[in-house]
């Protein structure tokens, strides 16, 4: 965990404190003629854009929007995915096959083209609408993961036992599946956030995402893209911010996964002893020795 987690905390802090950290107003045209496309300098470390706005300030403020969209979309995706996945995995049978066929179909649709079509129709949406839309098109993969986990857990002895003892489905789900699903869900949320940040940037780059003059990393890149040959700084820095954020989120997710899976799937410790392939009896030579 360590480093990625710390970096993630710093990123979130920067996004939170953007208004305090930003040296200039992100939207105000300071001097749209004299300052247009001035290269990075002490006064404007990331340079200025075509309207003479401070790119650093726009990137800092953009962090709020981009990360907000990313995190919200991930939460929406994970919630929907969990709902569908648990339903399919727990109920099984027809419900399961219908839901999973729908998911198969949804997964096979090119997500970006679908979003482009929907957004082209809607025109530029609000930040929240964008987050909802990105989340609503992202739960499909999640539901598969959750379904697999649910099915695996459902067939465990202790869940069957709880069901046999007459525990209500809701109770079994919350008390028993909950802890088992927590780890994969946490990891997925983190990784989905990264995906959503990239997607927001892509849509905003196409002019279909966050509406200017409000800054998001994607639309700052969009504004810089036509001038990449001359005023490279406008598109470069917000892009670096995306890479930094997404790489951080991804490595945090990976580290989290490694840590959670390193101890094996989460299982109640008492039950491990009862399982046939759990802890071997004392005195037996174990793992490190490969016995063919």
Positions in the binding site for other proteins (CB under 8 A)? 101, 104-114, 116-118, 120-121, 194, 198, 201-202, 205-208, 221, 224-225, 228-229, 232, 235-236, 239, 242-243, 246-247, 249-251, 254, 281-286, 288-292
**CA 195, 199, 205: angle at the middle one, nearest 5?**
145
Nearest Cα neighbor of 209 from 17, 68, 45 is 68
Structure tokens at 198: 């990239």
Question: What CA–CA distance (Å, rounded) separates 154 from 218?
Answer: 42
Nearest distance in Å: CB 62, other proteins: 13
3-class SS of residue 171: helix
Nearest distance in Å: CB 141, other proteins: 8
Number of C-beta neighbours around residue 2 at 10 A: 8
Nearest distance in Å: CB 17, other proteins: 24
Nearest distance in Å: CB 124, other proteins: 11
Question: What CA–CA distance (Å, rounded) separates 115 from 138?
Answer: 11
Nearer residue to other proteins within complex by CB, 77 or 172: 77
Nearest distance in Å: CB 27, other proteins: 23
| Contact assessment for residue 192 and residue 78, using Cβ atoms and an 8 Å cutoff | yes
Nearer residue to other proteins within complex by CB, 92 or 207: 207
Sequence-distant (6+) residues with CB within 8 A of 195 are 74, 138
Number of C-beta neighbours around residue 16 at 10 A: 13
Nearer residue to other proteins within complex by CB, 149 or 223: 223
Sequence-distant (6+) residues with CB within 8 A of 284 are none
Region class of 282: left (phi > 0), else alpha (psi between -120 and 50), else beta: beta
Nearer residue to other proteins within complex by CB, 177 or 188: 188
Nearest distance in Å: CB 101, other proteins: 7
Question: What CA–CA distance (Å, rounded) separates 233 from 218?
Answer: 14
**CA 157, 254, 107: angle at the middle one, nearest 5?**
75
Nearest distance in Å: CB 135, other proteins: 17
Nearer residue to other proteins within complex by CB, 31 or 272: 272
Nearer residue to other proteins within complex by CB, 129 or 160: 129
Nearer residue to other proteins within complex by CB, 83 or 236: 236
Nearer residue to other proteins within complex by CB, 172 or 224: 224
* Look-up of token digits 């649709």: 109
Question: What CA–CA distance (Å, rounded) separates 202 from 232?
Answer: 18
Nearest distance in Å: CB 106, other proteins: 7
């Amino acid at each position: 965990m360590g480093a990625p987690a710390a970096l993630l905390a710093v990123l979130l802090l920067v996004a939170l404190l953007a208004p305090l950290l930003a040296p200039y107003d992100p939207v105000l045209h300071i001097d749209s003629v004299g300052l247009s496309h001035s290269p990075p300098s002490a006064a404007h470390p990331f340079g200025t854009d075509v309207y003479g706005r401070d790119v650093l300030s726009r990137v800092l403020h953009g962090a709020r929007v981009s990360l907000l969209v990313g995190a919200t979309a991930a939460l929406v995706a994970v919630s929907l995915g969990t709902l569908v996945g648990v339903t399919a995995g727990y109920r099984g049978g027809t419900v399961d096959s219908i839901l999973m066929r729908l998911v198969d179909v949804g997964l096979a649709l090119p997500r970006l083209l679908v979003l482009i079509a929907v957004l082209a129709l809607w025109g530029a949406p609000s930040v929240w609408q964008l987050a909802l839309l990105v989340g609503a098109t992202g739960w499909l993969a999640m539901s598969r993961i959750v379904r697999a986990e649910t099915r695996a857990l459902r067939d465990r002895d202790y869940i069957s036992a709880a069901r046999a003892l007459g525990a209500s489905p809701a109770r079994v789900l919350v008390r028993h599946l909950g802890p088992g699903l927590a780890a994969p869900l946490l990891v997925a949320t983190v990784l989905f956030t990264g995906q959503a940040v990239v997607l927001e940037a892509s849509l905003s780059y196409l002019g279909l995402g966050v509406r200017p003059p409000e800054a998001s990393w994607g639309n700052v890149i969009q504004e810089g893209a036509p001038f990449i040959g001359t005023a490279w700084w406008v598109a470069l820095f917000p892009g670096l911010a995306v890479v930094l954020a997404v790489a951080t989120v991804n490595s945090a997710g990976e580290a989290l996964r490694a840590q959670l899976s390193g101890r094996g799937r989460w299982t109640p410790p008492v039950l491990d002893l009862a399982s046939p392939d759990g802890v071997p009896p004392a005195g037996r030579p174990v793992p490190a020795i490969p016995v063919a």
